[in-house]
Amino acid sequence: MITPPPSDPYQIYPYHWPVINPGNSWAVPRIAMPQFFSIQWDYAIDSWYYIGHGIDDAGDSYSFNLIVGRRALRGRNPVPQMAYLALGVGSHAAQKFYGSFGYGLDVSDDPTHPAALILPPVTDFSFDILFTPLPPFSDTKARIRYTGGAPVGIAGATYRIDCAGTSKDREALSLGLDLKDERGTMLEGASGCVEPPNETDKGVFTYEVAQPRLTITGGTLAIGARKVNLVGGSLWHDRQAYTLSPYGGGFLPGAGTTEEMVTQASKEVATLYRGMWIALTLDSGISMLVTPQWAPVTDWIKDPIKAKGQQWVSGRAVKRPPTGGYGNLFLPPNADRYNGGALLSGGSASDNDWDFDVNIFDPQNPQDSPHWQSPDYDNNVYGTKWAITFSDRLGHWGVPKEIFVVALVDSCENTLAGSSPFWEGAARLYSDRACTQPIGYGFVEQMGYN
């Protein structure tokens, strides 16, 4: 049951939007809530991305990723629009990843208008995404909705996710989650802006916000005939609105068949970045994200074909520093810090002034450092264990000096139809190199092979 809005919400919920801008703005209008959870028609791409882990009543753990998105196919809205959905479930006990994908045409903010993706304008007490793919684009479907508590986007609000599909090996998947927001919505990047270092670089320019701590209060998971009850875990919601760089990619130049438009649009959004995106949720209440950018293979080896599968061997400890990177620190709600967090720098190849440094776990023996090789794309090798070192200047906010990150399921390779494969999966976090002292969970993306 949805809780009705209070007569004076500002007396009950002490908040204000937009979040105070701590630096230069990227563009106007600035991000404002809850409207930013709605479809942003002025942008080429929208996505609502939920990632994290779950724990069942037997103590087994799972990796979850769910992305709902829409894509303008010819550069002008409202038509034509492609909708897409990807559902990924990794089982730690089985060490197996299950992925299901759905596509459809037409996107609408009018619930009376049939479309593959429907999202009415979001209000303080209403948020409801419905994805229903159109044949022949698989049976994957999802609904994400606000269910009560504090206003949408505020700590204390509750949500429900229901999704289902069929994996490529024909296993039926079904996931239902009840969520409670423990932190509220935070700006990512610099005041919500995440962009390439130079405006002439290839890539995407995005507005992004995060709900970094959506606690799983209950739910169910079914993989084939096996059904389990979920009793814990946490998701991170990454909300993004994209504009493609005119120097890389772009919009479809003209009409084509539905299948051609879907395939080309998928390829255009495939190359988001070259490197890693890591979300960290510590038991202490701190949340962080860090994004080291890998150097192109031609920068450090003469044979790019051979090198393509080796980009996972990365970090300053193996003399392959990042070309750049950013991060964000989100402190607990009661922290004495204006805006509740800080922008972090990953430095660059020529810059040793960094806030975080991500390295493979065993830089002394790179090829023996934990990794996984794709059976489907044999040039693709992905790291599965890392060490992240943080600057001493973050210590007074309670950030550990080191965090060791271990993949929950090694085989979490994912691909949207028509795009290059990438790796994304949940991870356990430890404070010691022996990985015996757990301090939280995280989620890792590796997209160096796009």
pLDDT top residue among 151 and 242? 151
pLDDT exceeds 50 at position 12: no
The pLDDT of residue 274: 78
Judge whether 77 and 263 are in contact, CB under 8 Å: no
Architecture category of domain 1-269 in CATH:
Beta Barrel (2.40)
State how far the Cα of 293 lies from the Cα of 199, in Å rounded to an integer. Answer: 17
Judge whether 116 and 104 are in contact, CB under 8 Å: yes
pLDDT top residue among 342 and 404? 404
Residue 236 pairs in a beta bridge with 51
pLDDT top residue among 286 and 243? 286
Q: Which residue has the tokens 């995005």?
A: 206
Judge whether 222 and 174 are in contact, CB under 8 Å: yes
Domain range list for the chain? 1-269, 272-450
The pTM of the full predicted model, rounded to 2 decimals, is 0.87
pLDDT top residue among 26 and 147? 147
The pLDDT of residue 61: 98
Judge whether 220 and 228 are in contact, CB under 8 Å: yes
pLDDT tens-place string over residues 50-105: 999 999 999 999 999 999 999 887 654 456 788 999 999 999 999 999 999 988 88
Mean pLDDT within 241-270? 47
